[in-house]
Amino acid sequence: MKSRWHRPANGDAWIMGVLNCTPDSFSDGGSYIDVDRAVAHGLAMHGSGAAIIDVGGESTRPGSEPISVDEELKRVIPVIHGLVAAGYKVSVDSMKAEVMRQAVDAGATLVNDVSALTHDPESLGVVADTGVDVCLMHMQGMPSTMQHKPEYGAVVDEVCDYLEQRMNACLRAGIRQSSILIDPGIGFGKRLEDNLALIRATGLFKQRFGVPLLLGLSRKSFIGQLTGAPVEDREIETAVAGAIGISLGADILRVHDVALQSRAIRVASALSAR
């Protein structure tokens, strides 16, 4: 069975809209703590072209500290309920099995876990039992420490090997291959040269794994390192990097400014249509 998240041969790459219900995310922390405001922003992103809204209640920016399960549930579950009630597809950005479980009960159809289902020993079982889709991301270390001198011998090979191990773990747990997406984890325990190498290797990842590939490039720090632009002014660079990712085979882009990025994604998709 083919994944629903493979990009159509002659269609646009999918857009995942970022909805951070947190006070401390690197880009928009504090903007969507209020439930009604968060839901309204999710609705606006869908209206601008987001195929799925990625709801997260715990920041994973470099240096961030974990929060309790109860606090994370308080932040995300009402928002998921509101978006699902409006008829929209929702993913939950979480490393905690109980948050995943309750998010799926609330209607989320995809688990987006930056730890690739390693942080919580129950998370593999939650995804397998519920049958939802899952995005497996590579991260060196944890958010609180991941940018403390990350090191790689051969970053593309190491990320590929890690994702292969996690895919195999999912398959052994009973998760269907058609439910799996991969994300090389741009900015998560990576140096500038690592991020660039991983983006360039998008086609290699697609060829090796044959599952949908998600790129989270939006406003990332590697852009600031290249251009000096502050986090609130990186949309042009995000569009360029995303267009290159699409040309190399990316199926989904995770973005903050859906209204703006959807225009770039539409052009890039048309130019790279197969």
Question: CATH assignment of 14-271, given 3.40.50.1950, 3.40.225.10, 3.40.30.10, 3.20.20.20?
Answer: 3.20.20.20
What token pair was written down for 199? 């983006």
Q: Give the chain's residues under pLDDT 50.
A: 24-26, 28-30
Domain-by-domain residue ranges, the chain? 14-271
3-state secondary structure of 102: helix
Please work out, in degrees rounded to the nearest 5, the angle formed at the alpha carbon of residue 108 by the alpha carbons of 105 and 112.
Answer: 120
3-state secondary structure of 91: strand
Amino acid identity at 116: A
- The side-by-side arrangement of strands in the sheet containing 90-93 is 180-183, 133-137, 110-113, 90-93, 52-56, 14-20, 252-255, 214-215
pLDDT in tens, 11-49: 999 999 999 988 744 454 445 568 889 999 999 999 999
* pLDDT of 66: 82
* pLDDT of 24: 47
Residues labelled as active-site residues: 220, 254
* pLDDT of 273: 83
* pLDDT of 25: 45
CB 265 within 8 A of CB 248: no
Amino acid identity at 211: V
Contacts of 182 (CB under 8 A, 6+ apart): 135, 136, 137, 163, 167, 205, 209, 211, 212, 213, 214
* pLDDT of 146: 62
Distance between CA 120 and CA 141 in Å, rounded?
14
